[in-house]
Amino acid sequence: MVDTSLRRRSVLGLPLAGLAVAGTTQALGAAPRAYAGAPAIQKPLPPEWFIDYGTNAETRWDSVDPHRYATPQSRLFVRNHTRTPQIDAASYRLRVFGDGLTDPAGVTLGLAELQRRFRTVEVTSVHECTGNGRSFFDVQQGTKASGTQWTLGAVGTVTWQGVRLRDVLRWAGLRSDAVSVQGSGLDDEYVDKGENLGRVRRPFPIAKALDDALLAWGANGEPLLPDHGYPLRLVLPGWVGIASIKWLGELQVSTSELTSPWNTRWYNIGGPLGVNPVRSAWELPRDAQVPAGRTTVLTGRSWSGAAPIARVDVSTDGGATWQPARLRPAPGPRTEGHGWTRWAHTWHAPEPGRHELLARATDLHGRTQPDVATFNPNGYFFDAVVRHPVMVA
């Protein structure tokens, strides 16, 4: 049932432009907006929607519209290793090759042919960077991890339009002994501290390729924006964002395990990272002002890479007491995959002073959020419950 109280917004449900916001964006104002002389990100990044890190930008949770389920591309986070390339869709070709095909020389496909030849599918899924929440290793646990200091905005939910990777692989002559597939991007080669690591690329198991992996050209019914992979990207629903290679130029199919620095050196904690953990966020700025003595409806969202969210428990007193949040059903119908879950909590007449809001989600597989996230030097998978300070006055 749709929670109608969510339509009758209290002050905190509105886009929170008027509320007090912590100084994070100002401090980051000097971030470089260019890579090798060209803008790294092409779409506008208005400061009320994004925190700008230069080649990356995260969505501000206090700008998320509680009435809108999917994330518009104009508001979706961007994570670029180098910069968004300019690709001409008319001359674009995807090359599929490797010893995992009956003819290892493989095939090439243009966008129009791909769209004509295979059945179009639509899948709604959470799209999230592995490092989402990384800043909380420092802010909440006192040990800083290296990498972009994302708060919780390196995530969105998108309804993708595309074709099944398995349909394309079978048409291309997939061998039954293929084990590994690797997508490679058409963006510039990635140079890290003087070392050229080549194109951004990452292998994944054939099982995921034959399950729900997509080759997507659309997001929420529109062509991909340049920053999000135009004209074609991989989408591995529920998996770490790096698996969803943008500006897909090549797909290598192999009968032996493939590796790349993106599954050995990075995005690896004792093994290549796959399915995303459970996380939650409040649709509020940190240090938001909440009116004392009144009733306020607080909203947020939770998501998991493995399964839909089963329940969300919230605390408005720093974790002393907990209550279940009201979950909103996802707007249907959807074919496959799953997005995030919106929820609400009515806060009755809070006392003036500083309070900490907490939200802990559990998914249908029983995975939940710990109090403390396991530290790793690159700051992946911060899945602990985030303590969200607000000021009641």
Binding site for ligand MTE (CB under 6 A): 76-81, 127, 129, 185, 187, 200, 228-229, 241-242, 244-247
Nearer to ligand MTE, 13 or 241 (CB): 241
Nearer to ligand MTE, 155 or 327 (CB): 155
String of contacts with Mo ion for each residue 106-145, x by CB under 5 A: -----------------------xx---------------
N residues, the chain = 393
185 binds, among ligand MTE, Mo ion, none (CB under 5 to 8 A by kind): ligand MTE
- Strand-strand pairing, 388-392 and 288-290: parallel
As a whole number of angstroms, the distance between CA 51 and CA 228 comes to 17
As a whole number of angstroms, the distance between CA 236 and CA 275 comes to 9
Q: Report the nearest approach of ligand MTE to the CB of residue 369 (Å).
A: 20
Binding of Mo ion at residue 79 (CB under 5 A)?
yes
Residues 261-300 that bind Mo ion (CB under 5 A): none
Task: From 57-65, 68-76, 241-249, 363-371, give the range in contact with Mo ion by CB under 5 A.
Answer: 241-249
Nearer to ligand MTE, 78 or 181 (CB): 78
Nearer to Mo ion, 276 or 341 (CB): 276
284 binds, among ligand MTE, Mo ion, none (CB under 5 to 8 A by kind): none
Nearer to ligand MTE, 133 or 185 (CB): 185
Q: Report the nearest approach of Mo ion to the CB of residue 288 (Å).
A: 27
246 binds, among ligand MTE, Mo ion, none (CB under 5 to 8 A by kind): ligand MTE
Q: Report the nearest approach of ligand MTE to the CB of residue 63 (Å).
A: 16
CB 295 within 8 A of CB 346: yes
Nearer to Mo ion, 100 or 379 (CB): 379
155 binds, among Mo ion, ligand MTE, none (CB under 5 to 8 A by kind): none
Which of 185, 203, 241, 339: binder of Mo ion (CB under 5 A)? 241
Nearer to ligand MTE, 217 or 247 (CB): 247
Q: Report the nearest approach of ligand MTE to the CB of residue 219 (Å).
A: 9
Nearer to ligand MTE, 127 or 301 (CB): 127
Task: From 71-79, 83-91, 101-109, 284-292, give the range in contact with Mo ion by CB under 5 A.
Answer: 71-79
282 binds, among Mo ion, ligand MTE, none (CB under 5 to 8 A by kind): none
Binding site for Mo ion (CB under 5 A): 79, 129-130, 241-242
